[in-house]
């Protein structure tokens, strides 16, 4: 209610100022016809002003806002892979029976073009097809994800992520995997059916993570070549990757 009263008062002040100026104009020139000519001319220009504001200025402002939002999103994605994502990919990769082949296909370089990254993301989406919960260390994976629970939940609470559906879906996949692992009383004593079920949860998280990692690499290649260089040398999808420069 107070907000409405403020708007009404502000509108009344503006109208009063306009009326006062028109009155001063009349006192100076004693020509009401001249006032009406300018009034009609100003009213006729209003649609053009609306056009300029809505289509031009609004478009520029929206574009600026989108750029700012994308930058914030990339910062969040970068923080995720620095603190959690890269290590999570390494651990999930131990469940991948075709990890070596995947590492060969998903090895970005400075020469990659957008089409190369797009093709790599399609491959990454299917990374979970060769996941088997029997191959890796489930208790070790659970211990790591459990330690990152608060960080994952804070990311899910970030309103900027509403603009990034795929990244949010990936976070939910990883969080769901954590919850599945947390519900097991003994991860070293699981039935075959349960291992098959967990293989599906692992595959979902692994494929989503790999896909987002490739997208993040594309961003680094364009914006931060020095960060891209380190990320490539520590590629979590490549079992032969080494940080040391050969």
Listed residue (108, 104, 128, 63) closest to 240, CA to CA: 104
Using a 10 angstrom Cβ sphere, with 0-12 exposed, 13-18 middle and 19 or more buried, the burial of residue 209 is: buried
- Residue matched to tokens 């003994």: 186
Q: What are phi and psi of 13, to 5 degrees?
A: -65, -45
What pTM does this model have?
0.72
What is the per-residue pLDDT across 66-97, written as a single tens digit (0 to 9) for each? 666 667 777 888 888 888 988 999 999 999 88
What is the per-residue pLDDT across 181-196, written as a single tens digit (0 to 9) for each? 999 989 988 999 999 9
Contacts for 224 with CB less than 8 Å, ≥ 6 apart: none
- The mean of the pLDDT values for the chain is 83
Residue 150 has pLDDT above 70, yes or no: yes
Q: What are phi and psi of 131, to 5 degrees?
A: -85, 140
Residue 40 has pLDDT above 80, yes or no: no
Instruction: Report, as an integer, the average pLDDT of 118-143.
Output: 90
The pLDDT score that the predictor gives to residue 70 is 64
Instruction: Report, as an integer, the average pLDDT of 170-174.
Output: 93
């Amino acid at each position: 209610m107070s907000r409405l009263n403020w708007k009404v008062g502000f509108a009344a002040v503006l109208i009063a100022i306009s009326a006062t100026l028109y009155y001063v104009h009349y006192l100076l020139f004693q020509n009401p016809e001249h006032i009406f000519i300018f009034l009609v001319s100003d009213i006729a220009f209003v649609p053009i002003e609306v056009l300029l504001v809505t289509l031009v200025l609004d478009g520029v402002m929206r574009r600026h806002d989108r750029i700012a939002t994308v930058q914030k999103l990339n910062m969040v994605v970068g923080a995720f892979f620095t603190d959690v994502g890269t290590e999570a990919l390494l651990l999930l990769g131990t469940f991948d029976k075709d990890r070596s082949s995947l590492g060969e296909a998903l090895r970005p370089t400075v020469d990659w073009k957008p089409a190369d990254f797009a093709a790599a993301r399609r491959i990454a989406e299917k990374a979970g097809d060769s996941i088997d919960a029997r191959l890796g260390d489930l208790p070790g994976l659970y211990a790591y994800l459990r330690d990152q629970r608060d960080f994952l939940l804070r990311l899910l609470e970030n309103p900027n992520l509403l603009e990034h559906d795929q990244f949010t879906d990936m976070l939910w996949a990883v969080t769901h995997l954590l919850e599945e692992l947390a519900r097991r009383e003994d991860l070293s004593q699981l039935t075959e059916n349960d291992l098959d079920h967990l293989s599906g949860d692992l595959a979902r998280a692994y494929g989503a993570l790999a896909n987002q990692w490739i997208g993040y690499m594309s961003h680094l290649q364009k914006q931060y070549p020095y960060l891209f260089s380190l990320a490539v040398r520590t590629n979590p999808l490549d079992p032969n990757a080494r940080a040391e420069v050969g």
